[in-house]
Amino acid sequence: MNIAAHVGLTNHPVWLETFGDVLAVVATRYDRAIEDDEITRIHQEDCAQALGLPWGGDAKFERNDNRANYRAIAALLDRDRALFDVGESDRERLLSYTTLNVAVGNTDAHAKNHALLHRADGAVRLAPIYDVAAPPFVFDGNLHLALRVSQVVYQPDVKLEDLVAEGTSWGLAVPDAERVATETLERILAAVAECPATDRIAATIPGYVATQATNLLQGKAAGAGSSASPIALMDRIAMPGRA
């Protein structure tokens, strides 16, 4: 999440804090607004809801319900964008999210981990990225993407051309998709060098992310030439409850 913030894909702080003997992730809410000391809620709808997927269960994963996919999520975005609107579109931002998820190994980026914010003026916008982690290190080493990237399921096999193809399938022009994916990867590399980390995290995660981002920028598969899998590195990472 700190890498995502450095890349510019979220503006809400996330940090680790200990409560008693429990280590927890603390995240500030982005679906709230404060004005004159009044807190109001901004309605959030996760993309599984927006796509009409069954509540509960695992329909949020594409392997369980093929309606859960990036192209369907992209189709929810930019419906009120006018020809003369300037700045990044939500579809471009979604491609940045997808690129970051591949680069950091976030294989758990399912439909419920993408959301829409419904503004008071009726506008619907893509919510900031959230719940970004590296499940290959902590959840049984899962390397299969929750949502496919241009039909690629195995995260280490994804290439830059797959990210571009995914974006163009949403209606993005090829040069725009190439620009978004490339610039996101370049910002990820810069963020890896800037984000603070504990000594044990610094010895593993940054190198893993930097290697994958570099591979993608060079047109290689994300996991190409990796000398150690995330599973092999797990014992070197300080996790809650571990020495």
Give the CATH number for residue 158.
Answer: 1.10.1070
Write down the pLDDT at residue 154. Answer: 96
Cα 18 from chain centroid? 25
pLDDT at 228: 53
Residue 205 has what pLDDT? 87
Ranges assigned E (strand) in 53-97: none
For residue 29, being part of any structural domain is answered with no
pLDDT confidence of residue 237: 52
Cβ contacts of 16 within 8 Å, gap of 6 or more: 23, 24, 25, 26
- Contact, 12 vs 30, CB < 8 A? yes
Q: What residue numbers bound the domain in which 94 lies?
A: 43-236
- What is the model's pLDDT at position 243? 33
d(CA 60, CA 22): 29
Total of domains in the chain: 1
Residue 28 lies in a domain: no
Decide if 232 is inside a domain. Answer: yes
Nearest to 159 by CA among 179, 181, 138, 134: 181
SS3 124: strand
Q: Nearest 5 degrees, angle CA 83-CA 89-CA 94?
A: 150
The pLDDT value recorded for residue 121 is: 84
Task: Please check whether residue 9 lies inside any domain of the structure.
Answer: no
Query: Rg of the chain over CA atoms, in angstroms?
Result: 18
Taking the C-alpha atoms of residue 100 and residue 98, their distance in angstroms, rounded to an integer, is 5
Task: Tell me, yes or no, whether 104 lies in a domain.
Answer: yes
Confidence at residue 199, expressed as pLDDT on a 0 to 100 scale: 80
Answer whether residue 30 is part of any domain: no
Collect the ranges in the chain with pLDDT lower than 50: 238-243
| Token representation of residue 190 | 């810069």
In a domain, 48, yes or no: yes
In a domain, 27, yes or no: no
Please tell me the predicted confidence (pLDDT) of residue 240: 43
Residue 64 tokens read as 């369980």
